[in-house]
Amino acid sequence: MSIDDFIERLANYKSNDVVFNMYRGNSVAAKKCRKNLKEYLEKHKNSQILLVGEAPGYKGCARTGVPFTSDSGEISAKVLQGAIDKYSPNTDVLMWNAFPFHPHKKGERKSNRKPSKAEVQSASWMIMNYFLEVFPNIKCVASVGNVAKELLQQFEFEYKPSHICHPSYGHKKQCEEDTYRALSRFSNILLDERIMRSVADCVEEEYKEAAYHYLKEHKKEFFDWYGLSDHMEYAHAYLLGDKDINLSEYQKWPNEISTEKNAEYLDKVKPEYITRVVCERDDPYYDTSASIWTMKVYLKVHGWNAMATIEDSSPWYKKILGMVEKSDDFVHKSIGDYSEEEGFWYGRFSYTRKNEKV
């Protein structure tokens, strides 16, 4: 089914005294809504991520035809789009509504209400089925609110849909947190997909599909990144756009790094790997042995998370502290006091990369 065919089917749904179909008819507004929707859907025709909301609001989608439009004060759309822009600004996210027409109070077009179960059953399943047919690349789906959650439960997806709290009724913070978790999960899923596809591309043509599906089936075992195969290293380097790199650097870093166990990784730390540095020294009143600063370094290396623990006697302590102190990319905070008895400062200070969620 084409996008034009889909919009034509949307336009066939008849409005009534409690539901407005903004795509129906030959008015200037209806034509504009159809045009806007077509442009929006074509822009996201290759999207692999879909967020499904509840229904259009009269200040947003009911006016423009585009789901989650926020330029006229539609609060729910503003919160959700803001969370996407904040946490995953470069991700192609397609948005739709479980009930794609505007439900309103009887005789009050400039009002919003939750669509009834009868309304959802009469149109939503069929239209969503058409919608998924138009966008076959969709792999990751999230519901925004319970209306969408109940609808999506009627469909089978490759990956279980995530759920995002609807931002209305004072749930803005919860919606933002849920959106962050969902987009993080989707990012990992799609990265896994890309890596597995690239590994499969390393084998002979006749075995590619079989290799890809085998990797998906055995993903848990396969993504034990220690002792990677030559094909795996090549594929990961290929994804990063550099085939001439030292492939051994792209093996997974240990989750925990220390000067005693695996100090060789500390030599590889670069400023761009660091997301946060926290240095602490205990209050001598509670810990009479407190005499050293302990540094925890939070790292993100080629998509993998790691943490290093370093004491102030280590040469890496000054080296890493120097990296963040000289950089304008980190925000510095500190809290502490001076112990006259012990003769040293104690407390905590940190350097956090700007825009990093703590």
- Tens digits of residue pLDDT in 342-356: 566 778 889 999 877
What is the C-alpha separation between 121 and 150, in angstroms, rounded?
11
CB 48 within 8 A of CB 190: yes
pTM of the complete model: 0.60
CB 277 within 8 A of CB 305: no
Per-residue pLDDT at 29 exceeds 60: yes
Residues 97-129 have pLDDT tens digits of 999 999 999 989 889 999 988 888 888 889 999
CB 36 within 8 A of CB 64: yes
Q: What is the band of 78 on the pLDDT scale with cuts at 50, 70, 90? A: confident
pLDDT at 229: 46
Q: What is the band of 218 on the pLDDT scale with cuts at 50, 70, 90? A: low
CB 156 within 8 A of CB 150: no
CB 138 within 8 A of CB 48: yes
What is the C-alpha separation between 281 and 345, in angstroms, rounded?
8
Lowest mean pLDDT among 10-19, 184-193, 266-275: 184-193
Q: Which amino acid is at 211?
A: A
Cβ-based neighbours of 297, under 8 Å, separated by 6 or more: 269, 274, 276, 277, 307, 308, 309, 310, 320
- Which DSSP symbol is given to 85? H
Closest residue by Cα to residue 49 from 193, 196, 190: 190
Lowest mean pLDDT among 25-34, 50-59, 235-244: 235-244
Structural domains present in the chain:
3-191 (3.40.470.10), 194-250 (no CATH), 256-353 (no CATH)
Q: Which amino acid is at 295?
A: M
CB 58 within 8 A of CB 93: no
Q: Look at 51 and 211; give whichever has higher pLDDT.
A: 51
Per-residue pLDDT at 226 exceeds 80: no
Tokens standing for residue 97: 């509504």
Q: Look at 344 and 228; give whichever has higher pLDDT.
A: 344
- Residue 85: half-sphere exposure toward Cβ, Cα within 13 Å: 7
What is the C-alpha separation between 86 and 176, in angstroms, rounded?
9
Cβ-based neighbours of 15, under 8 Å, separated by 6 or more: 21, 24, 101
Q: Which amino acid is at 114?
A: K
pLDDT at 222: 54
What is the C-alpha separation between 278 and 280, in angstroms, rounded?
7
Measured from the Cβ of residue 255, the count of other Cβ atoms closer than 10 Å reads 9
SS3 145: coil
